[in-house]
Amino acid sequence: MIRPASEAEVAEAVRAARGPLAVQGGGTRGPAGAGTPLSTSALSGVVLHEPAALTLVVRAGTPVAEVERLLAAEGQRLPFEPMDHRPLLGTAGTPTIGGVAAANVSGPRRIQAGAARDAMLGVRFVDGSGTVVANGGRVMKNVTGYDLVKLLAGSRGGLGILTEIALKVLPVPEAAATLCLPGLEPARAVAAMAAALGTPWEVTAAAHDPGPSPRTWLRIEGFAQSVAYRAGRLAAALAPFGVAEVETNAASVTAQWQAIRDVTCLAGRAGDVWRVSVRPSEAAGLLARARAQAALMDWGGGLVWLLSPAGEDMRSRLGCFDGHATLVRAAPATHARLGTLHPAPPPVAALAAALRARFDPRGILGGGWA
Amino acid sequence: MDMPRPDDGLIARRDRIVARLRAVLPADAVIDAPVETRAYECDGFTAYRCPPLAVVLPRSTGEVAAALRVCHEEGVPVVPRGAGTSLSGGALPTADSVVLGVARMNAVLEMDTADRFIRVQTGRTNLSVSTAVEDAGFFYAPDPSSQLACAIAGNIAMNSGGAHCLKYGVTTNNLLGLTMVLMDGTVVVLGGAHLDAPGIDLLGVVCGSEGQLGVVTEAVLRILPRPEGARPVLIAFATAQAAGACVADIIRAGVLPVAIEFMDRPCIRACEAHAKAGYPDCEALLIVEVEGAEAEIAHQLGLIAAIARRHAPLEIRESRSAEESARIWLGRKSAFGAMGRINDYICLDGTIPVSELPGVLAAVGELSARFGLEVANVFHAGDGNMHPLILFDANAPGELARAEALGAEILKLCVAAGGCLTGEHGVGVEKRDLMGVQFTPEDLEAQMRVKDAFDPNWLLNPAKVFPLHLSAGRRAA
Ligand SMILES: Cc1cc2nc3c(=O)[nH]c(=O)nc-3n(C[C@H](O)[C@H](O)[C@H](O)COP(=O)(O)OP(=O)(O)OC[C@H]3O[C@@H](n4cnc5c(N)ncnc54)[C@H](O)[C@@H]3O)c2cc1C
């Protein structure tokens, strides 16, 4: 295991590599593929935290928990609510901010506050030839040159090894509430969530559990006075969908959304897990076609988690839809056979391949693409 | 600022190139008469002008692809154009180039308030996107001051911002998908009505690529429900330092205003002379706007006033009616026009960390004195996006050059303070030669590799963004 302690050492390790490197942050998403393991865990620590500018610059190997602790001490948080994959994947390890950035991991608040990519203001990374590259910065508005920050967010290590990330953070609001509507069929649930998201009351999360006793949840956050007002108005607006119960206990609201964020309802159950990004109004139809053993909808229907029998080709079941399906949990052989990521149309695949060839000419960073 | 020497071979083949374009496009879609191409000789950055070889104005993605295939085969550089309001010369042609304008492609293709998006052709103006969803109670958030004129095409190419981006983000945060045509005519669809890319986020890098990766013909844009209401407060200060500190405290306190705008004394005076909004004559003022229901607005404005009182304000003027709100915004909205009346000006748009505002403003003041040119400041303070306006007289010999030199110094100051050269107007040709201030050659090389992947022959808007000496080898290839 190579464990560089500085950006310069990462660059050196990449230049010295004679074959593929399997780059990992905390290793919480399982093995990063074939190759010599390279861990970013020693690239840890805060470079800069400016609470009054809502910015945080951290080294890529910094544990997410440490980032969250530091922000909480200032009454702030990561806007995009990244999930902790450990319960769902049954893995151990320490999630790092670099892993979150490289996989563009975003939780329930993604629909309102944006994805990890939207909160990323700047990156430093080492490309496949061992060159250090900086892009973006630490300011909220920056259009100087191409946005390689977005390109690296979600690139799963295929274009470069992230060494440092600048993030926009947000204040933790004073209060939060969850509205719960029981008993809706998936199509009705998506309609209820769309109705809620179409109101001016800034719903910050909308999820649905289609299980045997279906539940639809909506979250409001803000000043205590606002939350009370908005929850009341929202419950009234959703009357056609049933009577909403309102939960305002802070600990319960937090625990509830953490469970949705981490998809704990599918944790520890046998089978493969798929994560489908879809146009919300297509979600109910997609769910029916999936014939999944269990499922969870987030993002107002725009994100569907599916549990299916091991080895099954879920993508062929789903057929054609506006979105894409990622295989999140399965045996390595299934990943190899079905592909982790949704196949891209030829012109898009060609562009992605051309970029990878230019950022990683020797093909040593491919591990994350298994 | 230099542009590459035009290719005489291309200019000599002009008739053949125009004939080939005419063969694949409707008759009225190709313009080559010099009186008509003159209209495309510059954009909003009017200091530099050059009529192109020809202009094509296609009406569909298919026509864009047909035009690009011809240009690709002929080896002609193509300069994409939306409404031509760029302030950095992004749409400035060269004499051997074809301007490809998308202004005629302005249809709404699909609108869905349940899925909260609208799909448009990119020649559609920014404001008319919001207008199209207005009756349904929605709006499109990014709102550049040029929104009446500028096109979604240019917004995507420049990743444009607006007054409301403190809360709602800039174009890239509101763009769900697009259709674009590569230089060789290949049509590429990225994203759609769903969120996030399955693999590498090509959408994210195309947004803000200044017309150098492909011609964007359609866009899927996120739309949002309109807030119940909005109201501003105007706060006057005796020093820029106090105003800057107040901004930082507001942001920290967890109030998320939609806008925090800053104006300094030179700007306030010019606006007063022009718009007579009744602003106090003070060193610095802030306009802070919040949204929500009446009681929510009152609560937030109360918090803001309490914070402001810690910074010895000269006056706190809270709007109590739509009429008062309009008066508070009147001066700010007429700032650029007011400046234009009294002077020629260069508008910079470097960004700095909000915490650096007081120090940078003081340093700008010193530079202004050293160069003997007045600088007025009006900007989006909440996100640190400065807009120093350098006032000069274009008829006085040497003043433009002096103003440009001062501009370069101010932008270097922004970078040194931890910021960047441009927060929303783009690099274009205006800031192209300063890129080395912010980036190492390796940083720029990585960006140019992206262009290599999308446009291997460097035919799309080739003389922009990257210093010419760095892109020379690629452009010649
Ligand atoms: C008075 C005034 C106020 C302004 N205020 C703001 C503001 O508040 N915020 C802000 O961000 N900007 C502002 N701007 C700058 C400008 O309006 C924006 O950059 C705008 O997005 C440009 O849009 P456009 O359609 O006019 O683009 P153009 O000027 O036509 O082109 C801009 C760039 O986009 C490229 N391009 C155009 N069409 C395409 C296409 N179809 N595919 C690929 N590339 C393309 C061009 O090649 C060029 O590089 C202002 C400008 C003016 C004149």
- φ, ψ at B302 (rounded to 5°): -65, -45
pLDDT confidence of residue A370: 35
Indicate the residue of B112, B189, B354 with minimum beta-carbon distance to A53. B354
Rounded Cα gap, residues A219 and A206, in angstroms: 7
A30 plus A154 within the same structural domain:
yes
> Are B358 and B403 in a shared domain?
yes
CATH code at position B378: 3.30.70.2740
> Based on the domain organization, do B124 and B78 belong to the same domain?
no
Q: What is the mean pLDDT of residues A261-265?
A: 98
Record the tokens describing residue A105, joined without a space: 């991991």
pLDDT digits (tens, 9 = 90+) for A58-97: 999 999 999 999 999 999 999 999 999 999 999 988 999 9
Q: Which domain holds residue B397?
A: 343-416
| Average pLDDT over every residue of B307-326 | 95
- By CA distance, what is A227's nearest residue in B? B296
Q: Is pLDDT above 60 for A369? A: no
pLDDT (0 to 100) of residue B465: 98
| Residue A366: inside a domain | no
Asked if residue B27 lies in contact with residue B71, where contact means CB atoms within 8 angstroms, the answer is no
Residues A285 and A251 in one domain: no
Residues B237 and B193 in one domain: no
The answer to the question of residue A352 being in a domain is: no
Residues A88 and A128 in one domain: yes
Dihedral sign for Cα B378, B379, B384, B386, please. negative
Q: Count of CB contacts below 8 A, A vs B?
A: 259
Residue B152 included in any domain: yes
A295-324, pLDDT tens digit by residue? 999 999 999 999 999 999 999 999 999 999
Instruction: CATH number of the domain at A11, please.
Output: 3.30.465.10
pLDDT digits (tens, 9 = 90+) for B282-305: 999 999 999 999 999 999 999 999
Task: Answer for the pair B188, B214: CB distance below 8 angstroms, yes or no.
Answer: yes
Q: In this complex, do B435 and A145 lie within 8 Å of one another by their Cβ atoms? A: yes
Which tokens is B345 given?
């000006």
Q: Is the pLDDT of residue B168 over 50?
A: yes
Residue of A141, A204, A315 to mutate, testing the B interface (most B Cβ within 10 Å of its Cβ): A141
pLDDT at B234 > cutoff 50: yes
CA dihedral over A188, A190, A194, A196, signed as positive or negative: positive
CA-CA distance, A322 to A276, in Å (whole number)? Answer: 10
pLDDT score for B477: 65
Residue A148 and residue A248 in one domain:
no
Q: Domain holding B187: CATH number?
A: 3.30.465.10
B303 and B250: one domain? Answer: yes
Q: How many CA atoms lie within 13 A of B426 on its CB side?
A: 30
Mean pLDDT of chain A: 95
- Domain membership of residue A347 (yes or no) is no
- pLDDT tops 50 at residue B357: yes
* pLDDT tens profile B81-130: 999 999 999 999 999 999 999 999 999 999 999 999 999 999 999 999 99
Rounded Cα distance, B348 and B275, in Å: 23
Using CA coordinates, name the residue in chain B closest to A158: B200
What's the structural domain count of chain B?
A: 5
In this predicted structure, what is the pLDDT of residue B454?
98
Q: Which of left, alpha, beta for B143 (phi over 0: left; psi -120 to 50: alpha)? A: beta
Same domain, residue pair B148 and B213:
yes
Q: Between B357-371 and B399-416, two packed helices, what is the crossing angle to 10 degrees?
A: 160
The pTM of the whole model exceeds 0.90:
yes
Of A140, A150, A351, the CB nearest to B454: A351
Residue A220 and residue A311 share a domain: no
- Looking at the complex, does the CB of residue A299 fall below 8 Å from at least one CB of chain B? yes
Q: What is the pLDDT of residues A159-196, one digit of tens each?
A: 999 999 999 999 999 999 999 999 999 999 999 999 99
Q: Residues near ligand 1 with C-beta < 6 Å?
A: B 43-44, 79-87, 90-91, 102, 122, 144-146, 150-151, 153-155, 157-158, 160-162, 210-211, 215-216, 336, 424-426, 461
Question: What pLDDT is recorded for position B331?
Answer: 86
Residues A159 and A183 in one domain: no
The per-residue pLDDT of chain B, averaged, comes to: 95
Kindly state whether residue B434 falls inside one of the protein's structural domains: no
Q: How many structural domains is chain A composed of?
A: 3
Distance between CA atoms of residues B397 and A228, nearest Å? 64
CB nearest B383 (choices: A140, A174, A351): A140
Question: Which of A144, A198, A351 minimises the CB distance to B453?
Answer: A351
Residues in B closer than 8 angstroms to A115, CB to CB, are 195-196
Question: How confident is the model over A191-249, as pLDDT tens digits?
Answer: 999 999 999 999 999 999 999 999 999 999 999 999 999 999 999 999 999 999 999 99
Contact B415, B421 (CB under 8 A): yes
Q: How confident is the model at residue A367 (pLDDT cuts 50, 70, 90)?
A: low
Task: For residue B151, give the ligand 1 atom closest to its CA.
Answer: 25
Query: Rounded distance, CA B330 to CA B271, Å?
Result: 9
In whole angstroms, give the CA distance from residue A364 to residue B191: 28
The residue whose two tokens read 């350098």 is B390
Predicted confidence band at B313 (pLDDT cuts at 50, 70, 90)? very high
- CB contact under 8 Å between A53 and B355, yes or no, is yes
Are the C-beta atoms of A136 and A142 separated by less than 8 Å? yes
Residues of chain B with C-beta less than 8 angstroms from the C-beta of A348: 188-190, 202
Ligand 1 atom nearest the C-alpha of B211 is 44
Residue of A127, A142, A159, A358 to mutate, interface with B, max B Cβ within 10 Å = A142
